[in-house]
Structure 1
Amino acid sequence: MITSILVTGEGSSDMGGSNNGHSISSGASYNLGPMALLAVRLLRNILPTWNEEYLDFQSPNNWMTCISGNELANQTKTLSKYRPSKKIQKGYSEHANRAFAMANYAQQHGHQLAIYFHDTDKGDFDALRDALRLGFSSVENVQSVPMLPKPTSEAWLICGRKRDPYAHCTALETQLSGNDAASAHNAPKKVLGQLLGLKAGAEPTTEQQYAEAEVVDIACINMPSYNQFKTDLTTAIEGVCGHGTARTL
């Protein structure tokens, strides 16, 4: 049964974080970010019904804990074990080590599930996911999930906001830039801002993105990076609750 989840991300605009300056937060000290909310919505729809009853989905911060990337980096100083190799491409060993540290922390503190968020940006999706899975695999009894939007989390929200909502969203993964400093027509934050009616070049606030995460149709987004997250989340849920117990959207 899943009763406690550990998450990490890049900041307030994705998985959220502490509102009191601490590196690890939960309950009233944890502000969920837009992607944490999206993960919660998916979790609620995939969990077996009997497990859903044990979680208060009106207050997910009471059973979620957020650990910052900086804290994971600090923990890897004593736990670090991965270096670039045939299994890990150059530039991705840091993620493998952080994934190892995260799964280790989850195991020690009774979290059954861990979700590691990171935008793919301009990197290689498969290399990043493989590095995380390698780090996760070093720790037993914790189900860990990579959450890797391509190129960034805004692309998933844009899918439901563009002129033809939810249609041909796969193209967004290559049409949008992984660089926030890109031009207004393909920088994800700026494109989302335009779709929300903001002035040219303006980027949506975390609150505005959270509002989008509340209403986007989680069953209609059809993008490779999003679908992979759903698949990995389903596998992790069944790793805890039993094979064949997960529901489908």
Structure 2
Amino acid sequence: MITSILVTGEGSSDMGGSNNGQPISTGEFYNLGPMALLAVRLLRNILPTWNEEYLDFQLPTEWITCISGNELANQTKTLGKHRPSKKIQKGYSEHANRASAMANYAQQYGHQLAIYFHDTDKGDFDALRDALQLGFSSGDNVQGVPMLPKPTSEAWLICGRKQNPYAHCSTLETQLSGNDAAAAQNAPKKVLAQLLGLEVGVEPTTEQQYAEAELIDVTRINMPSYNQFKTDLTSAIEVICGHGTARTL
């Protein structure tokens, strides 16, 4: 049964964060981010109906705790370090270490599920996911789920906003750039801004992205990076709640 979730991300525009300056936040002190909301909405569609009784989906901040990336980095100092190896490509060991710290914290404080958000940007999706899974494997009784939009979270939101919503969204992963400084037709933030009718040079705010995460149909997004998150989340739910209990979309 899932009653408590731990999340981490890159900042307020994805998983959200503390509103009182603390590295770990929950309840009234946690501002839910757009991607955290999307994860909550997807979770509700996959979670077995009997588990819904134990989670108030109107107040997800009551059962979600957010831990900052900096805090995870601090906690890795007291844990064994992952080094580049056959299992971890060079440049990804930091993520494995943070995932280990996250699994350790989740286990210590009774969170059954941990979701680690990070934009793929210009990195290697498989290498990043492999590093996170290796890090998560150090935690007993905790299921870790990588949430890795490719190239960035805006691409997922663009899928539901473009001229033909939800159609051929997989192409966004190769057409869009992981560089915010890219040309207007390739930079995810700029493309989303255009779709929202914002002035040139104005980027979507966290609040505007949150509104998009509220409106998007989480069951219709069809992109490799999103589908992998959905698959990993489903697998985690089945380990926690029992094989065959997760609902299919």
TM-score, L = length of structure 2: 0.99
Aligned to 2:59: 59
Q: Which moved more, 1:127-136 or 1:173-182?
A: 173-182
Aligned to 2:106: 106
Aligned to 1:130: 130
CA distance in 1, matches of 2:78, 2:171: 41
Aligned to 1:241: 241
Aligned to 2:46: 46
CA distance in 2, matches of 1:173, 1:201: 23
SS at match of 1:13: coil
Which residue identity lines up with residue 245 of structure 2 in the other structure? T
CA distance in 1, matches of 2:164, 2:58: 31
Shift in Å at residue 107 of structure 1? 0.1
1:152-178 per-residue CA deviation (whole Å, 9 max, x = no partner) reads 000000000001111110000011010
Aligned to 2:187: 187
Shift in Å at residue 248 of structure 1? 1.2
CA distance in 2, matches of 1:127, 1:24: 27
Shift in Å at residue 201 of structure 1? 2.8
SS at match of 1:25: strand
Shift in Å at residue 14 of structure 1? 0.2
CA distance in 2, matches of 1:112, 1:19: 24
CA distance in 1, matches of 2:170, 2:192: 16
Could you tell me whether the CA contact under 8 Å between 1:184 and 1:201 is conserved in 2?
A: no
Shift in Å at residue 91 of structure 1? 0.1
1:64-111 per-residue CA deviation (whole Å, 9 max, x = no partner) reads 000000000000111142000111000000000000000000000000
CA distance in 2, matches of 1:105, 1:133: 16
SS at match of 2:14: coil
Aligned to 1:224: 224
CA distance in 1, matches of 2:189, 2:203: 5
How large is the Cα RMSD of the aligned pairs?
A: 0.6
Work out the number of aligned pairs and report it. 249
Shift in Å at residue 185 of structure 1? 1.2
5+ residue gaps, structure 2:
none
Aligned to 1:208: 208
CA distance in 2, matches of 1:160, 1:43: 18
Shift in Å at residue 184 of structure 1? 1.2
Aligned to 1:169: 169
Q: How does 1:79-94 map to 2 (within 5 A)?
A: 79-94=79-94
Shift in Å at residue 209 of structure 1? 0.1
CA distance in 2, matches of 1:221, 1:119: 17
Which residue identity lines up with residue 81 of structure 2 in the other structure? K
Could you tell me whether the CA contact under 8 Å between 1:194 and 1:202 is conserved in 2?
A: no
Does residue 70 (structure 1) correspond to residue 67 (structure 2)? The answer is no
TM-score, L = length of structure 1: 0.99
Identity of matched residues, %? 86
Does residue 160 (structure 1) correspond to residue 160 (structure 2)? The answer is yes
Does residue 27 (structure 1) correspond to residue 34 (structure 2)? The answer is no
Which residue identity lines up with residue 87 of structure 2 in the other structure? K
Aligned to 1:11: 11
SS at match of 1:189: helix
Which residue identity lines up with residue 78 of structure 2 in the other structure? T
Aligned to 2:117: 117
Aligned to 1:97: 97
5+ residue gaps, structure 1:
none
> Would you identify which runs of 4 or more consecutive aligned residues in structure 1 move more than 6 Å?
none
SS at match of 1:150: coil
CA distance in 2, matches of 1:80, 1:22: 25
Shift in Å at residue 220 of structure 1? 0.8
SS at match of 1:66: strand
SS at match of 2:213: helix
